[in-house]
Amino acid sequence: MTAAPALAAQNLDHNGFLDIEVDPELDLIAEIKRLKKEKNAVILAHYYQESEIQDIADYIGDSLGLSQKAANTDADMIVFAGVHFMAETAKILSPQKKVLLPDLKAGCSLADSCPPHLFRKFKEKYPDHVVVSYINCTAELKTLTDICCTSTNAVQIIESIPKDQPIIFAPDKNLGAYLVKKTGRDMVIWNGACMVHEIFSHERIVKLRLRHPNAKFIAHPECEAHILDMADYIGSTTGLLKYTINDPATEFIVATESGILHQMQKSSPEKTFIPAPPDNHCACNDCPHMKRNTLEKLYLCMEYELPEIILPDWVIEQGRASIDRMLEVSAKAGLMG
Ligand code: 13P
Ligand code: SF4
């Protein structure tokens, strides 16, 4: 592994990324490939990343798949093209590796909706409850969690808990409500939500379906119940992608972040994918956090090995158990992200 070039002091706290001028004629793709080899780095990208980042990634996946890869990679450096909680999870799973995130301010409204100090007080009201947290939460929240879940394995995680054991579910109220319906378990649910999945317009989706009567409507379980009630299929990003590959329909209306359409279109070029309309009269369903990462920032973070994810030892130690338990249940159930 070669050393990173010395870097003048950067105000990462202010910008969240390396604000360095990049020669516009530089072949970023070639440079990123060179750095990958030189530094024995692996690029893990979530489906919500912009297309050119997905195209250069070594692995593209949902939150479960990305965690499984982060736990098992033999690379020296994990470059996480995703958001902060995902890179933190990778660091918890591979603490000996250098984990980089192109922009530290690529956060998550859902993770932000559950501040650990408030959750700690909330949890004290239910001392006999087990805490299940959606992986979209901070590393500190994971230290207050008994078992994590993702949208791929959430049902199996809930079902792995004895029926008479009361549960707190955090932070996503929409996924929580969906799980109550699916599993019949009565859970205490934290009142958090994702800004992208909360804005879909029921009225505009109904109208769109009338114009495309043969289209299947598919949705991520972070959407609100009245949107999920209309869906032909509900699933994680990987689940949605697989559904579009395997289902004979040729048109799909997709209620999740628009980045996933890139892989859907690549896997089924003959099919048509329509982003579900939000109620803000904008045509796109972009996550402003996911889309903070760019090819330029990816190149810079690999070149200078910054910004790096650093976590206190106690957070890594106490947060790890909840993720390990999730991976164990997933492995037993044969679930891959
Ligand atoms: P999955 O990719 O696990 O379905 O999660 C979606 C999401 O919101 C990630 O931020
Ligand atoms: Fe968070 Fe929603 Fe963006 Fe996913 S799409 S990172 S849950 S804000």
Task: Map tokens 């239910």 to a residue.
Answer: 126
pLDDT at 7: 58
Pocket test for ligand 2, best of 64, 110, 223 (most atoms within 8 A of CB): 110
Report d(CA 295, CA 146) in Å as an integer.
36
What spacing in Å lies between the alpha carbon of 46 and ligand 1's midpoint? 8
Pocket test for ligand 1, best of 46, 101, 256, 289 (most atoms within 8 A of CB): 46
pLDDT at 8: 47
Q: In what order do the strands lie in the sheet with 233-234?
A: 233-234, 216-219, 251-255, 272-275
Of the listed ligands, the closest to the CA of 221 is: 1
Cβ of 108 closer than 6 Å to ligand 2, yes or no, is yes
307 and 100 Cβ atoms separated by less than 8 Å: yes
Report d(CA 283, CA 270) in Å as an integer.
22
If phi > 0 it is left, if psi is from -120 to 50 it is alpha, else beta; for residue 164 that is alpha
Distance of CA 69 to the CA centre of its chain: 14
User: Which tokens belong to 96?
Assistant: 């000996």
Task: Map tokens 């890594």 to a residue.
Answer: 316
pLDDT at 294: 97
pLDDT at 281: 73
DSSP H or E segment with residue 148: strand 147-149
Nearest atom in ligand 2 to the alpha carbon of residue 136 is: 7
User: Which amino acid, one-letter code, is at 25?
Assistant: E
Q: What is the pLDDT along the chain (337 residues), one digit of tens a residue?
A: 555 655 544 568 788 999 999 999 999 999 999 999 999 999 999 999 999 999 999 999 999 999 999 999 999 999 999 999 999 999 999 999 999 999 999 999 999 999 999 999 999 999 999 999 999 999 999 999 999 999 999 999 999 999 999 999 999 999 999 999 999 999 999 999 999 999 999 999 999 999 999 999 999 999 999 999 999 999 999 999 999 999 999 999 999 999 999 999 999 999 999 999 998 777 679 999 999 999 999 999 999 999 999 999 999 999 999 999 999 999 999 999 8
Q: Say whether 178 sits in a helix, a strand or coil.
A: helix
Cβ of 68 closer than 6 Å to ligand 1, yes or no, is no
Residue spans of alpha helices (H) in the chain: 12-15, 28-38, 51-56, 63-72, 84-93, 109-112, 116-124, 139-143, 154-159, 173-183, 202-211, 225-228, 237-246, 260-267, 295-304, 313-332
308 and 98 Cβ atoms separated by less than 8 Å: yes
Report d(CA 151, CA 256) in Å as an integer.
13
Cβ of 195 closer than 6 Å to ligand 2, yes or no, is yes
Domains parsed from the chain with CATH numbers: 5-108+289-306 (3.40.50.10800), 110-193+316-333 (3.40.50.10800), 202-275 (3.40.50.10800)
